[in-house]
Amino acid sequence: MEMAYNYISSLTATSSAAQMANLGLVAVPFLSAFVGLRVLNLSGNAIVRITAGALPRGLHMLNLSKNNIAVIEGLRDLTRLRVLDLSYNRIIRIGHGLASCSSLKELYLAGNKISEIEGLHRLLKLNILDLRSNKLSTAKGLGQLAANYGSLQVINLDGNPAQRNVGDEQLKKYLLSLLPNLVYYNKHSIKASGTKEISDRPPRSAAHHFDRSTRTESKMTRRSSQGSGLHKLPLNPVRSSHAAGSMRQPKSRNVDSRHFHLPPVASSKLPHHLPELDKKLVSLQPSPIRRIRSEGNLS
């Protein structure tokens, strides 16, 4: 206690960090007057409980690992806290002691006796959750992590009975269904295989139009000879199938979208006979070619 007292006496209002590890402290010393503190290390002591109002409100990082804390409490004022380490204590449940820590990004709870996950639904910025070597026996309680789906990227459940009861692979699949942004599970990187492939595929609607072009050619030919307004011009069957095939090639994704459409044709320059117009369109040889919509009177 004398060493702790001497250390606290050396702190000033502008001190940003305090290292008070392994001093045999049984309670959190009153440090609220040191408003400049951002980092506080109280690990390796014998602290039983966190005294409300004892800690500075501006703390960003708090290390209380390797103590004798059984209940998460006394953190109501720490609204700016970003990193909290409560590893290797005697915590049985998380409870609502973290409800005010809305800025928390990293939470370390390894080596406790936690059997259920609750009280994390308000931590909407939480990126890292370490729950190694606890008492989680099923996947049932993990469902509450769905509230953190937008932020949680790293989770560690190694050393819990659920790994044996449920299966590590099943736990990972279940967490992936809850947490779409998960990057690491039990220190192993999760590679989102298939995501890039799906995003790189051409739009289904484009391929659908190419596949239907040959089947509807005769129908469009009949319609194009009636009335005025927007009409669908026939495509050459050979060129249409070639274009459809090119869409399945990787290179087609890099083709400028402008190449898929013919230049607009003024209605005054349209030919009077559809077969001649078809020959002129074929001679332009766009690659690849999509369905063409042309405005004007085609009669």
62-86 pLDDT, tens digit per residue, is 999 999 999 999 999 999 999 999 9
Q: Which of 224, 263, 262, 264 is nearest to 243 (CA)?
A: 262
Q: Is 232 helix (H, G, I), strand (E, B) or coil?
A: strand
Say yes or no to pLDDT of 275 above 60.
no
- Owner of token pair 């063409």: 292
* Mean pLDDT of the region 196-206: 35
pLDDT in tens, 203-223: 333 333 334 443 444 444 444
Q: Under 8 Å CB-to-CB from 219, ≥6 apart: which residues?
A: none
Q: Which amino acid is at 93?
A: R
Determine which of 115-124, 137-146, 195-204 has the lowest per-residue pLDDT on average. 195-204
* Mean pLDDT of the region 176-187: 93
- Do 254 and 208 contact (CB within 8 A), yes or no? no
Q: Which of 56, 57, 117 is nearest to 91 (CA)?
A: 117
- Do 80 and 57 contact (CB within 8 A), yes or no? yes
Size (the chain), residues: 299
DSSP assignment string, 262-280: PPP--GGG--SSHHHHHHH
Could you give the CA distance from residue 144 to residue 118 in angstroms, rounded to a whole number? 7
pLDDT over 90 for what percent of the chain?
Answer: 53
pLDDT band at 197 (very low <50, low <70, confident <90, very high): very low
> How many CB atoms are closer than 10 A to CB 280?
11
- Chain centroid to Cα 208, Å, comes to 31
Q: Between 64 and 266, whose confidence is greater?
A: 64
pLDDT given at position 62: 98
Say yes or no to pLDDT of 282 above 50.
no
pLDDT over 70 for what percent of the chain?
Answer: 64
* Mean pLDDT of the region 229-246: 40
What is the average pLDDT score of the chain? 75
pLDDT given at position 1: 77
Cis amide leading into 286 (omega within 30): no
The pairing of beta strand 231-232 with beta strand 293-294: antiparallel
| Residue 254: both structure tokens together | 């890099």
pLDDT given at position 32: 93
pTM beyond cutoff 0.75:
no
Say yes or no to pLDDT of 239 above 50.
no
Buried b (16+ CB within 10 A) or exposed e, 192-219: eeeeeeeeeeeeeebeebbeebbeebee
Determine which of 56-60, 129-133, 286-290 has the lowest per-residue pLDDT on average. 286-290
* Alpha helices (runs of H) in 103-262, residue ranges in sequence order: 162, 168-178, 195-200, 204-213, 217-224, 237-247
pLDDT given at position 143: 86
pLDDT in tens, 145-155: 888 889 999 99
pLDDT given at position 191: 73
Say yes or no to pLDDT of 255 above 60.
no
